[in-house]
Each structure stands twice: as structure tokens, then as C-alpha cells.
């Protein structure tokens, strides 16, 4: 197939996949290595990085309309309400 089509159809997902695998290796090693600080935070942040890659590039949020991005955002924001208010209770008992 033509160069630019190959680039868009195969290379772009491939690059995202490579980046995700790299993050996977990093996070796994970080978790297993003793005496490293803030493991939970680092692991979660790296996971968020992988999720961002999937959402932005594989799921094509980058090229989507604002309406579609809003739908994605709404799920996250409302989930945060659940956490925020419930922890307001859990942490102040």
C-alpha cells in the first residue's frame, strides 16, 4: 500500500503499542525493585500514561469532535464525584 496510508494505518498504532509496552516494562521493573519511593503513585501515573495513549491515539480522541471528547470527559468527571464525596466521608470518620 502507499507510504502515507501504511504510516496511518499500521505505523501509528504500532508506535503507540511500542510506547505502551515500554511503559509496561518500566512500571513492572519499578514495582519490583526494592527501596524505590512512592511506588503506588508512580505505577498509577504510568498506567494513566498508557491509558492516555490508548484514548488519544488508538481511540482517536485526538482527531475527534469536541462532542465526542466531552462524552469521554464526562465519564471521568462523574467518576471523580463518586470518589471525592465518598472519601470526604471515609477520611473524616
Partner 1 sequence: MSSDIALHDPFEEPARQQVAVSFGMWSFLATECLFFAGIFLFYANARWHGGEAFLNGAGESAFWFGTANTAILMTGSMAMAIAERAAKADIVRLTRWMLWAMLALGLLFLAVKGVEYRKDLHEHLFPGPDFKLDSGPAEQFWAFYWAVTAVHAVHLTIGLAATARLLWMDRHVSLHRHHSTVMASALYLHFVDIVWIALYPLLYLAGRQ
Partner 2 sequence: MSEGIAARDLTRPDYLQYGTTVRSWLTTTDHKRIGILYAVAITFFFFLGAAAMALVRADLVTPSADLITNDQYNRAFTLHGIIMVWFFLVPSIPTTLGNFLLPMMLGTKDLAFPRLNLLSWYLFIGGGLLTLFALLAGGVDTGWTFYTPFSTLYSNSHVLLAALGVFVVGFSSIATGVNFIASTHLLRAKGLTWMRLPLFVWAMYTTSLVMVLATPVLSMSLLLVVAERAFGLPIFDPRSGGDPLLFQHLFWFYSHPAVYIMVLPAFGVVSEIITCEARRRIFGYQFMVYAMVVIAVIGFMVWGHHMFVSGQSAFASMVFSFLSFVIAVPSAIKVFNWTGTLYRGQVRFSASMLYALGFVGLFTLGGLTGLFLASVPLDVHLTDTYFVVAHFHYIMVGGSVSAFFGGLHFWWPKITGRMYSERLAQFAAVSMFFGFNFTFFPQFVMGYMGMPRRYHVYPPEFQPWHVMSSVGAVVLGFAYLWPIFYLGWSLVKGEKAPDNPHGSTSLEWQTTSPPPRENFDRLPVVDAGPYKYHPWHSTPDEVEQSHRPQLP
Q: Which residues bind partner 2 (CB under 8 A)?
A: 67, 74-75, 78, 81-82, 85-86, 88-93
Choose the contact partner of 38 out of partner 2, partner 1, none; CB within 5 to 8 A by kind. Answer: none
43: CB partners within 8 A, 6+ apart: 27, 30, 31
Q: Minimal distance in Å, beta carbon 89 to partner 2?
A: 4
Contact 73, 52 (CB under 8 A): no
* Angle subtended at Cα 58 by Cα 55 and Cα 62, rounded to the nearest 5 degrees: 60
Q: 29-33: long-range contacts at Cβ-Cβ below 8 A with a sequence spacing of 24 or more? A: none
Q: Binding residues for partner 1, per CB under 8 A?
A: 1, 5, 8-10, 12-14, 16-17, 20-21, 24, 27-28, 31-32, 34, 39-40, 43-44, 46-47, 50-51, 54-55, 57-59, 64-65, 67-68, 71-72, 74-76, 78-79, 82-83, 86-87, 90
Amino acid at each position: 500500500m502507499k507510504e502515507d496510508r501504511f504510516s496511518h494505518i499500521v505505523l501509528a498504532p504500532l508506535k503507540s503499542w511500542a510506547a505502551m509496552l515500554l511503559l509496561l516494562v518500566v512500571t513492572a521493573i519499578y514495582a519490583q525493585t526494592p527501596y524505590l519511593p512512592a511506588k503506588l503513585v508512580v505505577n498509577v501515573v504510568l498506567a494513566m500514561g498508557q491509558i492516555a495513549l490508548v484514548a488519544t491515539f488508538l481511540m482517536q480522541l485526538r482527531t475527534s469532535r469536541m462532542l465526542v471528547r466531552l462524552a469521554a470527559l464526562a465519564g471521568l468527571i462523574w467518576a471523580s464525584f463518586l470518589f471525592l464525596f465518598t472519601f470526604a466521608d471515609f477520611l473524616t470518620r
